[in-house]
Chains A and B, each alone.
Chain A
Amino acid sequence: MAPPAQSQRSASPSQPSGKGEVSDLKSQLRQLAGSRAPGVDDSKRELFKKVISYMTIGVDVSSVFGEMVMCSATSDIVLKKMCYLYVGNYAKVNPDLALLTINFLQRDCKDEDPIIRGLALRSLCSLRVTNLVEYLVGPLGSGLKDNNSYVRMVAVIGVLKLYHISASTCIDADFPLTLKHLMLNDPDTQVVANCLSALQEIWSSEASMSEEASREREALLSKPIVYHLLNRIKEFSEWAQCLLLELVAKYVPSDSNDIFDIMNLLEDRLQHANGAVVLATVKVFLHLTLSMTDVHQQVYERIKAPLLTLVSSGSPEQSYAVLSHLHLLVMRAPFIFASDYKHFYCQYNEPSYVKKLKLEMLTAVANESNTYEIVTELCEYAANVDITIARESIRAVGKIALQQYDVNAIVDRLLQFLEMEKDYVTAEALVLVKDLLRKYPQWSHDCIAVVGSISTQNVQEPKAKAALIWMLGEYSQDMHDAPYILESLIENWDEEHSAEVSTYLFWGYGFIMKISSYKSKIGQFDILNQQYWLIYTVFGQVRLQLLTAVMKCFFKRPPETQNALGAALAAGLADFHQVGFHNVGLQDVHDRALFYYRLLQYNVSVAENVVNPPKQAVSVFADTQSSEIKDRIFDEFNSLSVVYQKPSYMFTDKEHRGPFEFSDELGNVSIGAESADNVVPANRVEANDKDLLLSTSEKEESRGPTHNGSAYSAPLYDSSSASISAANSLSELAISNPTSAGNASSSSLAIDDLLGLGLPATPAAAPAPASAPLPPPLKLNPKAVLDPGTFQQKWRQLGISFSQEFSMSPQGVAALTTPQALLKHMQGHSIHCIASGGQSPNFKFFFFAQKAEESSNYLVECVINTSSAKAQIKIKADDQSTSQAFSDIFQSALSKFTVS
C-alpha cells in the first residue's frame, strides 16, 4: 500500500520515520530472502510495494539494494518487475551495486517466459552504466533473434539504448545491420517500427562520422524500403504509422506515377481516427506534390475537411496543435480556408490558447467576401470576459483593416469601440486608429470627431496615450480642444508615469548591463541602438510624443499653443537634470526638447518643415517573419517548430536534433564531414530533391524563393554592398579589357585566363578600382576546421555578403565528371568542402575557409552547371569587409581546376 498522501519528496527532517522504516524494511527483506515457506511471495510483494512507494515519494531506499537483489531470485513475475524498476532507478547512482544485478538480469534474459526475457533485457539496457556495456552485447544479440516478438521489440530499442551509452560497442557488434535485416523481414510490425526509429537515430548521428552510415541513412529513403514499409502500413499501430509517414514525407519520388501511387495508398489514412496520423498524412501529401503546382492545390482541397474536423472535435490540446498547422497552411495558401471561416469562431468555453489561435486564423483568412462577417464576430469578442482575448480580438480587427478589406465598416466598428468606455478597449482601439490613420489618412475626419471626445483621464496605458497624443498633434487643426488638452497633459508632465518609472529604470539598466557584457565587436552598436530604442519607446514614449505633438500643434495654431510649447520645452530640458545619466529614455526627451528649442531659435520655417513635413501614407507595415523562415517551418511540418513558429534550430541543441533534421538548406546535400574526399554518391537523390523543391517554390508563387538565391535580396549591410559593386567593377574591368590578360592563345580559354590571370590569387596585386580601398592581403588557414553544425548555423545567421555568376573553363567542366577531384583541388587552396551533391549537369558544393590568423570564417555555396559551364557562388563571411578578397581567391582557385 502506498503511504498516506505526503507531499514531501525528499527524506527531509520533517519525515523522521523515513530512516527507521527503511532499516526496518531492510531486516524484513533479509528474513524473507532465503525463506521458501508458502505464501512468502505475497509478503515479499507487500514489502516490495512499500519500497517502491518510498522510492516514488523520494525517500532514499538505495540502502536495501542488496536485499532487493537477493529477494529477486523468484519466479514471481510481479516481484521481478518491481525489482527491475527498483534497480533501474538506483543503478545509475550506484554503479558498483549495479554490477550485482547483472548476474540475475542476464539469467532472466534466458527465462522461459518471453515477458520476463523482455523485461529483463529492457532493464539491463536501461541501467545506463558505461562500464557494464560489455554485458549487454550477448543478451541483446540473442534478444534480436528471439522467437518471441515482444523480446525482439525490446531488444531493438535496447540496441538504440546501447548506442547512446557506447556508440562504438554498438557499431562494432554490427547491430545496425541486424536491425536493418529485421526491419525488412520481421513479421511483427512493432519490431519493424522500432527498428526504423532506432536506425534513423543511429545513422543520423553516425552520418557525420562515417560515409557508410550516411549512405545507409539515404538508403532508408530509397524506393524499395519506403515501398516495402508502405505496403504494410495498415498493420502498423497508430504511432508506428506516424513514424512511417514521417519517413515517407522525406522520400523523393522518382516520377509522378510514384507520387500518385503513394497518395492513393495513403488516401484512407486521412480518415484515420487518430489525429496524429491524419496530420502526418497531410504532411506527406503536401511535400510529395510540391513540384506539381496544380496537384498541390488539389491537395489543399482534399485535406481541408479532415483538418477542420480535427479542429472541431477532440481535445482542446489537439485543436491547439492543429490550428497552429492551419495557420501555417493559410500563410502559404490564403484561399484555402476562406469559405470555412466560421469554423474559427470561438466558443464561449474554449480555453484561451485555442481562442488566441482562432483569432489569428480569422485575421489570416479574411478577404473581400468574408470580412464583414468576420469583423462582426470579432466585435462580439471585444466584450469578452477574458480581457486578453478581448484585446487580441480588437487587434485582430485592426490587422484586418490594414489588409485593406472593407475599411469603411471597420472604421465604424473601431469608433464604436472607442465609445464602449472600457479602459482596455479604448486603449487598444486608440493604437489601432492611429495605425489606420497612418495608412488611410482619408478617414481622419470621421475618426477625429470621436477621438477628440475621449477624455485623457481614461487613457492610462503608455502606448495608447502616445497614440492619442500623436493624433492630437497631427490633427490639431481639426480638433477644437487639441491645444488645451495638450496643455493640461503638459501640466501633469511629472505625474506622467512616476509609478512606472522605477520599474522601467530597473529594466533599462538590466539591458545595458547585458550589452556591456556582450563581447563580440561586430554588431555591438546595432544591438546597443536597438536596446536604446526599445527602452525609449516604452519609457520616454509619452513625453517624446507630447513634445512633438505640441510642436506640430504650435505650427498649426500658434497663439493657442505658445504657452504650452514653452512649458513643454522647459519640462523636457529639465528631465535630464532630474533623473541622472543612466536614464536613457529621459536623456532622449531632453535631447529632443533641446533640439526643438534650437531649431526654433535658428529658423521657424525650417522647424516647421522638420516637424510638419507633408506625409505619405504608409502602404505596407513590415512583416515580422522572413519567407525563408516560414519555408523552413513548413519543411518541419508536424513538429514543435510549427507550434512555436520557429525553425527547430532555434530551440533545440545540436545533439538533440532528431533524425534527418539536417535535411534543410545544407543538409539536403549530405554532410561530408571535414575530409574533402567524402563525397557520397548516394546523396545525389537528396540534392536532386533539393533542386526540385527550389524550382517548384519559385514556380508556385512569387513569394520569394525558398532557401536560396534571391531570398537574400533584402537590403544588405553597407560594407557588403560596397564590396559587391567593387566586385562587379572588378570583373567588368577584367572582361572588357581582354588584351591586358596577355597571352590568350585560344578564344575558348580567354575567359578562363582572364579569371585566372586578371584576378590573381593575391588580391593585393589585383587591379582594384581607385575608389575602393585596397584590401589587405588575405591568407587562409590551410588546416581550417568547422563542424557541419556550426556551418549550418552560421549559414543561416549570416547575410550574403557577395554573390556572383561566372563562366567555368571547359577543362574545369570536363574535370567535374569526378566531383571529388574539385574538392581535393580546392583543399589545396585552403578551401575546404563541407558538403556536396547533385547530379549532372547541376552540382552544388558548400565550402568553407578560415583566415590564417583569426578564426574568421568564409562560407561559400557554389552551384556549377556543367552544361552551360556557369558557376554561381554565394559567399557569407564573418568579416564582411574581406569577402571580396576571399571571393577573388576562391574564383582564382576554381579557375585553375582542370583535369589532373
Chain B
Amino acid sequence: MAGAASALFLLDIKGRVLIWRDYRGDVSAIQAERFFTKLIEKDGDPQSQDPVVYDSGVSYMFIQHNNVYLMAASRQNCNAASILLFLHRVVDVFKHYFEELEEESLRDNFVVVYELLDEIMDFGFPQFTEAKILSEFIKTDAYRMEVTQRPPMAVTNAVSWRSEGIRYKKNEVFLDVVESVNILVNSNGQIIRSDVVGALKMRTYLSGMPECKLGLNDRVLLEAQGRTTKGKAIDLDDTKFHQYVVSYFKCVRLARFENDRTISFIPPDGSFDLMTYRLSTQVKPLIWVEAQVEKHSRSRIEIMVKARSQFKERSTATNVEIELPVPSDSTNPNVRTSMGSAAYAPENDALVWKIKSFPGNREYMLRAEFSLPSITAEEATPDRKAPIRVKFEIPYFTVSGIQVRYLKIIEKSGYQALPWVRYITMAGEYELRLM
C-alpha cells in the first residue's frame, strides 16, 4: 500500500455518517459528510458517480451495499484498487457477523462494529480481514468468552486460516464447479463477445489439519505432468487461486514441485472459493432467443418470441428467466406461451418469461400483445435500446468441459472423508440485442 487510509466511514443512503473510525486524525467527519451528501444529492443517480472522488485534499473511495455506503478517506496517494477491494472485504466481514449488512444491522450492533473497525485496520493499514481470524478478537458475544482464552490462532499457527483442533463426526467435502457464461449477441444474431468465468467453490467439514489434493483436466496441468492430452483436456486462459493453495504446478521452476504438480492445499473450515478461472473461447449460446416485434397501428404492438435450448437433450436448464424489453408505456398485456408463464414487469419496462424446466434441444414460443397510448408526446423520450436478457442454470454440465479427476483428503489421523463434486452452469451477463 502506498499510503494509508485516514478514516473509515459507514454512511446511510443519504450520505449521513452512521459510524466512523478515525485512524489518523487528519480528516474531519463533518467535512466528509457535507461533501458526500452533496455528491450523492447532486447526481440523483449515485450509480453514475465515480467510486473515487477528490475534494479539498482528501480522496474519498466508496462502495455501496444495500442501503449503506462504506467509504475510506485518505490524504495520501494511496492504492485505490486495494482500498476499494478492502471495503468489499469489510462488507464480507460484517455479513459474517450480522447476516446482512444494512443500516438497521449496524445500528443494532454499534459495539461490535467498533470492535471490528478497530481490528481490521490500524493507523490506516489493513490488518485482518478474515472473519474467522477476527472472531478471535471480537469478544462482544459474551457466551464465547470461556472458549477463547488461548491466544489468537493467526499467531500460533503456521496455517493462519485454520484453527487447530477442529472436530467433525462425519468428514465431508463439497466441491461445486460453477461456471457463468457471459455472452453478447448483436442485432444481426452474431456473437460479438463471449467468455466463461468459472469458480471452484468448496465447503469443507473436515477434522484436524487435512491436506487436499485436487486433480483437474486442465491442459497446462496435464502437459506439465507429462501426460498426453487427449480430446478431453481444456485450456484455461487465466486462473486465480485463493491464498490457501500452497503449491501449484506453475511453480515449475522450483525443482521440488517438479514431481508433484497437483493443486494441493490446506482448506479453511467452512465455505470458500478455491480457484477462479476464465476462458474466452467462442461459446455457442446455450439458450437462443429470437424476437419479432410488429407495430400494428399506433396503439398496438405484438411481440413473438422463440426460445431454443442449444445443448444436449440429457441436460436440462432450470429456472430460466427471459427478460424482454417492451416500450415504456405499454398497457393491457395479453400473453400466451407454449411453456412457462410470463408476467409484465412495468417497473423494468419488461416482460418476464419464466420457465421452470427447459430440456435440451427444445423450442418454446411466446406471443404477447400490448396496447400503447394512442397519443404520444411530440418529444418522446429516446427509445430504450435494452437487450433481451436471459438467466438460467444447467446442473451437471460445464461449458468448458472442466472435470475434477480426483479430490484426495489426507490427514494424519487417517480418516476417510467423503468428497462430493457438483457441476453447474449459469448465465452471467447474457445479453441479446435482438429487439
Contacts and interface: CB of A to CB of B under 8 A. Distances in A.
Contact of B151 (A148, A351, A387, A640): A148
B111 A52 contact: yes
B385 A648 contact: no
A190 B51 CA distance: 29
B192 interface: yes
Contacts of A657: 76-77
Interface string B1-22: 1111000000010001111000
Contacts of B160: 235, 237
Interface size for chain A: under 10, 10 to 19, 20 to 34, or 35 or more residues? 35 or more
B383 interface: yes
Interface in A812-858: none
A302 to B, nearest CB: 11
B99 to A, nearest CB: 17
Nearest to B237: A305
A639 B433 contact: no
A267 B253 CA distance: 10
B179 interface: no
A312 B182 contact: yes
Given A78-B142, A197-B4, A351 B77 contact: no
A9 B16 contact: yes
A500 to B, nearest CB: 20
B127 A239 contact: yes
Q: Which of B12, B107, B129 has the most CB of A within 10 A?
A: B107
B239 interface: yes
Given A239-B129, A309-B278, A246 B2 contact: yes
B122 interface: yes
Contacts of A264: 253
A242 interface: yes
Contact of A640 (B57, B80, B152): B80
Interface in A559-616: none
A150 B240 contact: no
Interface stretch (B164-172, B242-250, B287-295, B296-304): B242-250
A149 B31 CA distance: 37
Contacts of B74: 640
Contacts of A419: none
B224 interface: no
A386 interface: yes
Contacts of B256: none
Nearest to B50: A353
B54 A306 contact: no
Q: Which of A242, A317, A348, A638 has the most CB of B within 10 A?
A: A317
A271 B241 contact: yes
B50 A348 contact: no
B111 A49 contact: yes
A122 B278 contact: no
Interface stretch (A318-326, A434-442, A696-704, A797-805): A318-326
Q: Which of B17, B18, B78, B80 has the most CB of A within 10 A?
A: B80
Q: Which of B74, B81, B154, B155 has the most CB of A within 10 A?
A: B81
Interface string A113-144: 11100010010000010000000000000000
A14 to B, nearest CB: 15
Nearest to A389: B48
B94 to A, nearest CB: 15
B250 A268 contact: yes
Contacts of B123: 157, 160-161
A380 interface: yes
B386 interface: yes
A620 interface: no
A106 interface: no
B1 A246 contact: yes
Given A157-B125, A651-B54, A658-B76, A188 B81 contact: no
B197 interface: yes
Nearest to A112: B149
Given A49-B111, A640-B52, A656-B26, A113 B149 contact: yes
A638 B81 contact: yes
A271 B174 CA distance: 23
Given A78-B140, A342-B192, A271 B248 contact: yes
Contacts, number: 280
Given A122-B118, A351-B47, A352-B47, A315 B84 contact: yes
A5 interface: yes
B415 interface: no
Contacts of B52: 320-321, 640, 643-644
Interface string B43-75: 000011111101001010001000000000011
Contacts of B19: 56
B49 A353 contact: yes
B137 A242 contact: no
B242 A273 contact: yes
Contacts of B420: none
B85 A661 contact: no
A394 B302 CA distance: 32
Given A347-B429, A644-B54, A275 B110 contact: no
Given A345-B193, A643-B80, A194 B122 contact: yes
Contacts of A273: 240-243, 273, 276
A652 B110 contact: no
B329 interface: no
Nearest to A79: B139
A318 B81 CA distance: 6
A237 B128 contact: yes
Contacts of A383: 382-383, 385
Nearest to A307: B238
B114 A272 contact: no
A154 B121 CA distance: 11
B195 A53 contact: no
Contacts of A342: 192-193
B66 to A, nearest CB: 14
A574 B38 CA distance: 43
Contacts of A351: 47-48
Contacts of B125: 157, 193-194, 197, 239, 243
B235 to A, nearest CB: 11
Nearest to B88: A315
Nearest to A390: B382
B85 A275 contact: yes
A641 interface: yes
Q: Which of B108, B118, B273 has the most CB of A within 10 A?
A: B118
Nearest to B277: A309
B317 interface: no
Interface in B101-153: 103-104, 107-111, 114-115, 118, 122-123, 125-129, 137, 139-140, 142, 145, 149, 151-152
Contacts of B227: none
27 contacts: A2-B108, A2-B109, A5-B103, A77-B145, A85-B118, A115-B151, A119-B118, A153-B122, A194-B127, A237-B126, A239-B82, A239-B126, A239-B127, A242-B1, A268-B251, A273-B273, A309-B278, A312-B182, A312-B278, A347-B184, A347-B429, A353-B51, A377-B192, A380-B433, A385-B386, A640-B78, A656-B76
Given A640-B80, A660-B2, 4 more contacts: A237-B127, A305-B237, A320-B51, A652-B77
Interface of B: 1-4, 12, 16-19, 24-26, 47-52, 54, 57, 59, 63, 74-82, 84-88, 103-104, 107-111, 114-115, 118, 122-123, 125-129, 137, 139-140, 142, 145, 149, 151-152, 154-155, 160, 182, 184, 186, 192-193, 195, 197, 237-243, 248, 250-251, 253, 273, 276, 278, 280, 382-387, 389, 429, 431, 433
Interface of A: 1-2, 5, 7, 9, 42, 45, 49, 52-53, 56, 77-78, 81-82, 85, 92, 113-115, 119, 122, 128, 148-150, 153-154, 157, 160-161, 164, 188, 190, 193-194, 197, 201, 234-235, 237-239, 242-243, 246, 264, 267-268, 271-276, 278-280, 305-306, 308-309, 312-313, 315-318, 320-322, 324-325, 342-343, 345, 347-349, 351-353, 373, 376-377, 380, 383-388, 422, 636, 638-644, 648, 651-653, 656-661
